[in-house]
């Protein structure tokens, strides 16, 4: 398999049942994926996880545990989140097939990608969804659009495997995109500056902060663009002093 699967980071957030972690590991391995990150799992390690992983216990053994979603994705250039949650602020939305093609192109250009799944009963919170560049939707019967965690992971992993057979990438950027940590620093710098010059009222921000986050994650700035923007914001601060 030519796809650089070590750059694809499957992230499970606040998983309730350890058996679901094992089932996701099995789904991943059958499609050639191996990198699993767990954010605050309720129970792990677990015999139930091992039992349902089948011959994918190596994926569980190598899984990394994090205390926050930001730590789990901090080195990723692109972050996708799976969600069926309705949002008052819409986020860029893709189906699983389109997302898989995009992911393969990114990985083949040496970009790390994280795919984030929420807990079984409620999925990801709005705050957790906001770390993503795009959301992935798996089309389903509108009368019963219910997929369990392992099913969702299996479908997306399969689409990535399918797309990897003929994916091609042509890199056009002259500087690499910022990773998730760098992007969050830029967003925080922008918001802090906007508050300081009274463009945003921190006591009544309404939805503008979510829109700012959406704007920057959608733009996916490169390192030079982010550096210029942060220098520009610092220049504004100096003028205010």
Q: Where are the domains of the chain?
A: 5-164, 180-240
With a CB cutoff of 8 Å and minimum separation 6, the contacts of 231 are none
CB 35 within 8 A of CB 10: yes
Q: At residue 7, does pLDDT exceed 70?
A: yes
Q: Which fold has domain 5-164?
A: Alpha/beta knot (3.40.1280)
Contact 136, 157 (CB under 8 A): no
Per the CB < 8 A criterion, the answer to whether 95 and 137 are in contact is yes
CA-to-CA distance for 232 and 213, rounded, in angstroms? 18
Q: Does the pLDDT value for residue 170 go beyond 70?
A: no
Helix (H, G, I), strand (E, B) or coil at 139: coil
Is the pTM above the cut of 0.75?
Answer: yes
- The percent of residues above 70 in pLDDT, for the chain, comes to 95
Cα–Cα distance measured from residue 203 to residue 221, given in angstroms and rounded to the nearest whole number:
29
Q: Using pLDDT thresholds of 50, 70 and 90, give the confidence band for residue 87.
A: low
Give the percent of the chain with pLDDT over 90: 76
pLDDT of residue 121: 84
- Nearest Cα neighbor of 97 from 176, 47, 161, 22 is 161
**Could you read off the pLDDT of 32-41 as tens digits, one per residue?**
999 999 999 9
Q: Residue 40 gets which letter from DSSP?
A: S
Beta strands in 101-198 (DSSP E): 113-117, 134-137
CA distance 73 to 11: 8
pLDDT for 88: 59
Residue 134: name the closest of 220, 20, 44, 227 by CA: 220
Interatomic CA distance for residues 166 and 168, integer angstroms = 6
Arch. (CATH architecture) of 180-240:
Orthogonal Bundle (1.10)
Residue 110, classed as helix, strand or coil, is: coil
Reported as a single tens digit per residue, the pLDDT across 185-206 is 999 999 999 999 999 998 888 8
């Amino acid at each position: 398999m030519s796809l650089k699967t070590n750059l694809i980071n499957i992230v499970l957030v606040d998983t309730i049942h350890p058996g679901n972690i094992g089932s996701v590991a099995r789904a991943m391995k059958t499609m050639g994926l191996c990198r699993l990150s767990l954010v605050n799992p309720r129970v792990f390690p677990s015999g139930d996880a091992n039992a349902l992983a089948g011959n994918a216990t190596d994926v569980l053994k190598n899984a990394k545990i994090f205390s926050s979603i930001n730590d789990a994705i901090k080195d990723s250039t692109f972050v996708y989140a799976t969600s069926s949650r309705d949002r008052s602020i819409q986020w860029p939305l893709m189906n699983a097939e389109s997302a898989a093609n995009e992911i393969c192109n990114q990985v083949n250009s040496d970009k790390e990608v994280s795919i984030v799944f929420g807990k079984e009963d409620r999925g990801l919170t709005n705050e957790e969804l906001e770390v993503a560049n795009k959301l992935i939707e798996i089309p389903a019967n509108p009368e019963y659009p219910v997929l369990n965690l392992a099913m969702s992971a299996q479908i997306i992993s399969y689409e990535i495997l399918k797309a990897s057979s003929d994916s091609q990438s042509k890199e056009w950027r002259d500087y690499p995109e910022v990773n998730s940590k760098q992007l969050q620093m830029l967003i925080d710098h922008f918001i802090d500056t906007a508050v300081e010059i009274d463009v945003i009222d921190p006591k009544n921000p309404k939805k503008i902060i979510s829109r700012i986050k959406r704007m920057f994650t959608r733009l996916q700035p490169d390192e030079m663009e982010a550096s210029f923007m942060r220098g520009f914001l610092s220049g504004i601060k100096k003028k205010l002093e």
